[in-house]
Chain A
């Protein structure tokens, strides 16, 4: 039972939490605000808070100058593609390890996690070489495959922990009830696993969307996603804060919204089920 707390204490805690929360959120808020300013207002001294002439000009300039939508499409294709491909491989794998554990299951799981610890930079050149050899450099398919492999251990671990929570009793009950493996999967397993699969999917789209080693090193123009789009703003050319802000806002907005929706499932997803 939670106890009643004095109002005074609640006020202090609330104030502290809100101040810290707003401070942490401030850079994002500032970026969004700046994206609606003119370049002059963006670097005005002293800084302008809300009292400026709101404009959408930056957004159209960014779209015209660097074709935001093409990068956006690339991001969507790569993030969704790698996640779906990863799920196709991971679901059977996680299913088998969760429901038919053998003596080696734990070792296999740990080994899979260990592949995630391989520093990407250690295999950078071979991957570039293979990509060029197969004529896949700067293509969607290459990034889909590479990001899928990058995140596969996480996907498997997440699904494993979700599947592990489905009581074996229920699957046995289904078997006793005369369900074939197929109907067991369709009528019992899938509906029960769906929330877990959905949050796995969401988290991996986020991870793939924000991945910035392979996407920067394996693309030039054709398949470059938003990470590369933003990186192209790293060398300042004159007045550009407002446009940088507009580009940044557009790059993070979709995933920020998804992330807020998925925050409940996030924890166990990211901790491989070790924290619930």
Chain B
């Protein structure tokens, strides 16, 4: 079981309020991702849940039990650190066994769980090596293995993939998702990468300056971002924002249109512009269009078009938002409708 409830949890370092009082419930078996720009307090929040930091106020409940002042070891949570935090002087086997040794798990049971973890994580051939002899991805797996064998109420991941190269990151992302499907244990995952958030999460918690901006499933966040921050943060490439007359036409202070929701024509449309850079990815093409008329927030409008579309630098294009795909925001940046 792993239902975690945060009740008015707050954290300040001296004078600085890192996290103002905040409520959040994480259901058992959920894969929750905390996402936000660096310094938004997402790691601090994770460490509060882990018990590695003292809360300044509020209550943390794990499975209905007040764990606010329980030491980390007693909370039944396992954590995977950004630096992996493997014990360099121990073999892989000993690293994985360490939490069980601390909990006085019988040797036979230890061996069983290590074998299981090693099989799941493809580590069987490396059990006698030291962490220093492993690649980044293997170390990552050992860190996860060390978490698995504890059979924790929840897994905590603190930006676990940020030290891996791009290709490996995609692989590990899949493996962690798969692991979650198999174990069905609660997982809390911190990242600054919204792609990781979108691809892995059951529920995304978007944080900015210690405040929860929105909680919801990836699609909810994509389709109905609650405010300008979430709208700009979720989705890649970023949403285009328009203000002034363009927005006023929709009874809003700002309107937003995602790059994939703009129709491109070489003959007619709402906004006329010139293609600046065209990035051809094969499957898609991203166009960065310099508008002539549109009242944009950024200098360019990003458009995502089919990969086969043969548009080049200097071409003149017309852009039109697709029906019903325009997001409207009021003067305070909150979503209208």
A–B contact with Cβ pairs below 8 Å: the answer is: yes
Residues of A that sit less than 8 Å from B by CB:
167, 169-170, 172-180, 183, 187-188, 191-192
**Chain B, residue nearest A190 (CB):** B89
Residues of B within 8 A of A188 (CB): 87
**From residue A84, how far is it (CB to closest CB) to chain B in Å?**
23
Say yes or no: A173 contacts B85, CB within 8 Å: yes
**Chain B, residue nearest A191 (CB):** B89
Q: B307 on the interface (CB 8 Å rule)?
A: no
Q: B24 on the interface (CB 8 Å rule)?
A: no
Q: Which of A173, A179, A180, A183 contacts B79 (CB 8 A)?
A: A173
**Chain A, residue nearest B89 (CB):** A191
Q: B102 on the interface (CB 8 Å rule)?
A: yes
Say yes or no: A178 contacts B103, CB within 8 Å: yes
Q: B39 on the interface (CB 8 Å rule)?
A: no
Residues of B within 8 A of A179 (CB): 73, 98, 102
**From residue A252, how far is it (CB to closest CB) to chain B in Å?**
35
**From residue A164, how far is it (CB to closest CB) to chain B in Å?**
15
**From residue B307, how far is it (CB to closest CB) to chain A in Å?**
39
Render B274-291 as a binary contact track against A, CB cut-off 8 A, 1 for contact.
Answer: 000000000000000000
Say yes or no: A175 contacts B72, CB within 8 Å: yes
Say yes or no: A178 contacts B99, CB within 8 Å: yes
- 23 A-B pairs whose Cβ atoms sit less than 8 Å apart in the complex: A167-B83, A167-B85, A169-B81, A169-B85, A172-B50, A172-B52, A172-B72, A173-B81, A175-B52, A176-B50, A177-B73, A177-B99, A177-B146, A178-B102, A178-B103, A178-B150, A180-B102, A183-B102, A187-B87, A187-B98, A187-B101, A191-B87, A191-B89
**From residue B263, how far is it (CB to closest CB) to chain A in Å?**
49
Render B64-96 as a binary contact track against A, CB cut-off 8 A, 1 for contact.
Answer: 000000011110011101110111111000000
Residues of B that sit less than 8 Å from A by CB:
50, 52, 71-74, 77-79, 81-83, 85-90, 98-99, 101-103, 146, 150
Residues of B within 8 A of A191 (CB): 87, 89-90
Residues of A within 8 A of B52 (CB): 172, 175-176
Say yes or no: B77 contacts A176, CB within 8 Å: yes
Say yes or no: B89 contacts A192, CB within 8 Å: yes
Say yes or no: B88 contacts A175, CB within 8 Å: no
19 more A-B contacts (CB under 8 A) besides A172-B81, A176-B77, A179-B73? A169-B82, A169-B85, A170-B85, A170-B86, A170-B88, A173-B87, A175-B52, A175-B71, A176-B73, A177-B73, A177-B150, A178-B74, A178-B99, A178-B102, A178-B150, A187-B87, A187-B101, A191-B87, A192-B88
**From residue A189, how far is it (CB to closest CB) to chain B in Å?**
10
Residues of B within 8 A of A178 (CB): 73-74, 99, 102-103, 150
Say yes or no: A170 contacts B102, CB within 8 Å: no
Q: Give Cα A192–Cα B103 distance, bound, in whole angstroms.
A: 22
Residues of A within 8 A of B101 (CB): 187
**From residue A18, how far is it (CB to closest CB) to chain B in Å?**
35
Residues of B within 8 A of A183 (CB): 102
Residues of B within 8 A of A176 (CB): 50, 52, 72-73, 77-79, 99
